């Protein structure tokens, strides 16, 4: 087993007034050649957007872009005809494929919106752009690791992406022990702590810490406090 530990305080950070953002991997003005990606996982941003503010229309291509709000309402508009609002409990996937433009804005003028934005390399170039979102109630994540994103989409319970990658979300009670078995043995898993303290394969982690794990078939997770965790299983090679 090999691991790479990213403590919360070592992340890149920028405060633009309207946007307060933390970057687990190199992004925008934050560049660390040792933190470009974890396999096919390219971006893990922790964003807070001020009331009424947002990201103007901008392009993407050949990337699976996943947004997971944790507070507030985020309005999405794109060039393939989608106008949607995503809220706490929702998971949104935009497969940029051959190219798409979109904007993201805090829907509300009286409270901030907080969300994670995750970019995963596609399995190949040239997919047709597509959009999907689904709500996953907290009750469905209680003391289990619920699949929220997968290459199988609705056949596996999650929203679909063009990559052999799985995202699982859990809200765990203190002292719960739970195991995660990798879907593909050659993959790695990036464990990201949303809230609380957990121990993953013997490594103690706190809020917003991340741990990349490779060369193992299973994760052993213990909730040291009430906790919320996100697991991102991705290929470690064979992406463009």
Cα(60)–Cα(101) distance, rounded to whole angstroms?
Answer: 6
Task: Give the integer Cα–Cα distance in Å for 105 and 214.
Answer: 36
Contacts of 81 (CB under 8 A, 6+ apart): none
Instruction: Find the mean pLDDT for residues 218-231.
Output: 98
pLDDT score at 176: 98
- The pLDDT tens digits of the residues spanning 29-41 come to 999 999 999 999 9
Q: Is the pLDDT of residue 240 over 90?
A: no
Start-to-end CA span in the chain (Å): 25
How confident is the model at residue 68, as a pLDDT? Answer: 98
**Could you say which of 1.25.40.20, 3.50.50.60, 2.60.120.10, 3.30.930.10 is the CATH number of the domain covering 2-234?**
2.60.120.10
Q: What DSSP character marks residue 163?
A: S
List, in order, residues 6 or more apart from 236 with CB less than 8 Å away. 39, 40, 186, 187, 188, 214
**pLDDT tens readout for residues 185-220:** 999 999 999 999 999 999 999 999 999 999 999 999
Q: What is the pLDDT of residue 153?
A: 77
Which of the four pLDDT bands, split at 50, 70 and 90, describes residue 155?
A: confident
- What is the pLDDT at residue 163? 96
pLDDT at 237: 86
- Measured CA to CA, the distance from residue 76 to residue 91 in angstroms comes to 12
Residue 152: its pLDDT value, please?
86
Share of the chain above pLDDT 90, in %: 95
pLDDT band at 238 (very low <50, low <70, confident <90, very high): low
Q: How many Cβ atoms are within 10 Å of 30's Cβ, its own excluded?
A: 17
Query: What gap in Å lies between CA 170 and CA 103, rounded to an integer?
Result: 29
Closest to 172 measured CA to CA, from 233, 134, 221: 221
Count of all residues that appear for the chain in the document: 240
Under 8 Å CB-to-CB from 94, ≥6 apart: which residues?
Answer: 60, 64, 65, 67, 76, 78, 100, 102, 129, 130, 131
Domain assignments of the chain as residue spans, ordered by start? 2-234
């Amino acid at each position: 087993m090999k691991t790479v530990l990213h403590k919360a305080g070592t992340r890149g950070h920028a405060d633009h007034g309207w946007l307060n953002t933390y970057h687990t991997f190199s992004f925008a003005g934050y560049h660390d050649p040792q933190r470009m990606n974890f396999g096919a996982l390219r971006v893990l941003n922790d964003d807070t957007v001020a009331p009424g503010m947002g990201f103007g229309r901008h392009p993407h291509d050949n990337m699976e872009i996943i947004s997971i709000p944790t507070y507030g309402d985020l309005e999405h508009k794109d060039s393939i005809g989608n106008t949607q609002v995503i809220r706490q409990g929702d998971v949104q996937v935009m497969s940029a494929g051959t190219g798409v433009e979109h904007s993201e804005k805090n829907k509300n003028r009286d409270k901030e919106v907080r969300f994670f934005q995750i970019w995963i390399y596609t399995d190949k170039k040239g997919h047709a752009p597509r959009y999907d979102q689904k709500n996953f109630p907290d009750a469905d994540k209680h003391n289990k690791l619920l699949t929220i994103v997968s290459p199988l989409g609705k056949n596996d319970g999650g929203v679909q992406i063009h990559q052999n990658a799985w995202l699982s979300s859990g809200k765990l009670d203190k002292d719960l022990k739970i195991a995660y078995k990798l879907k593909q043995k050659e993959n790695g898993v990036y464990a990201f702590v949303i809230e609380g303290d957990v121990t993953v394969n013997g490594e103690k982690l706190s809020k917003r810490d991340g741990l990349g794990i490779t060369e193992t078939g299973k994760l052993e997770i213990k909730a040291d406090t009430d906790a919320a965790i996100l697991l991102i299983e991705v290929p470690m090679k064979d992406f463009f």
